[in-house]
Amino acid sequence: MRYLILSDVHANLEALEAVLDAERSWTQVLMLGDLVGYGADPNAVVERVRALPIAAMVRGNHDKVATGLAPTDTFNPVARHAITWTTRMLTPDNHAWLAALPQGPMSVEDDVEICHGAPLDEDFYVFDEMDAQRASAGVSRALCLFGHTHVACVFHLTGRAIQTRMPGPEPYVHEFSALARAMVNCGAVGQPRDADPRAAYGVLDTGSRTVTLSRVPYDIQAAQAKIIAAGLPSSLATRLGVGR
Ligand code: ZN
């Protein structure tokens, strides 16, 4: 089975549509959370995702704050401004659907699990080897797919955690086996922070036991113009252009 891996769409409809246009070799979707927050299209993104064939899905921290499941004071002022606006914009139906998203981890077939931040703590950031080492205690499958940092990378967990950072040669293919464990972040669809502003996503192939990390350009200017027109902080538009 081939699964499209989406994480951290952050209400960026242009980026989501570009990924769905670019990648058609999948039958089901894995959604790793943070559908909303920062971007200007929370309802359109939620409705687009709701129409996809989802195999497994978990909530992100922005989905929780947008729906009142976590307090806004955990966010910096810019993120708080955007999430307060998002809460106001969400239709009651989309709000209820987002609020019902499950906490991770969720399993996919036998060897794969998905989470937003880390298996034992959905809000934990895995940026470096030390974070991965801490998170690895909760990893119970050969492959743990995660998001939250918006940085595409692979952590090999056998022995001491070792990180492979993206962007490298692309698409980057990670082969997984039952004999080794790895945590893989395919990056953010809607707000990349690894200096590559293109939308990031992955494809999991459980037949060939691979996860492929890819990037696709999208209409960044259109997404930026919507952020400005909505009255959201201009820094949220600027960062899309630089991938930070
Ligand atoms: Zn996020």
Residue, of 5 and 169, whose pLDDT is higher = 5
The confidence score (pLDDT) of residue 163 equals 82
By C-alpha distance, which of 55, 36, 41 is closest to 226?
A: 41
State the distance from the centre of ligand 1 to the C-alpha of 34, rounded, in angstroms: 5
State the distance from the centre of ligand 1 to the C-alpha of 239, rounded, in angstroms: 14
State the distance from the centre of ligand 1 to the C-alpha of 64, rounded, in angstroms: 11
Mean pLDDT to the nearest integer, 225-243: 98
State the distance from the centre of ligand 1 to the C-alpha of 240, rounded, in angstroms: 13
State the distance from the centre of ligand 1 to the C-alpha of 157, rounded, in angstroms: 23
pLDDT band at residue 161 under the 50/70/90 scheme:
confident
pLDDT of residue 158 exceeding 90? no
State the distance from the centre of ligand 1 to the C-alpha of 160, rounded, in angstroms: 27
Mean pLDDT to the nearest integer, 25-29: 96
State the distance from the centre of ligand 1 to the C-alpha of 1, rounded, in angstroms: 26
CATH number at 22 reads 3.60.21.10
% the chain with pLDDT above 70:
98
Can you give the residue range of the structural domain that contains 191? 2-242
Task: Reply yes or no: is the peptide bond before residue 171 cis, omega within 30 of 0.
Answer: yes
The confidence score (pLDDT) of residue 26 equals 96
% the chain with pLDDT above 90:
92
State the distance from the centre of ligand 1 to the C-alpha of 8, rounded, in angstroms: 5
- pLDDT, tens digit, 9 for 90 and up, residues 7-16: 999 999 999 9
Mean pLDDT to the nearest integer, 35-61: 98
DSSP assignment letter at 207: T
Tally the domains of the chain. 1
Other C-beta atoms closer than 10 Å to the C-beta of 47 total: 15
Query: What pTM does this model have?
Result: 0.96
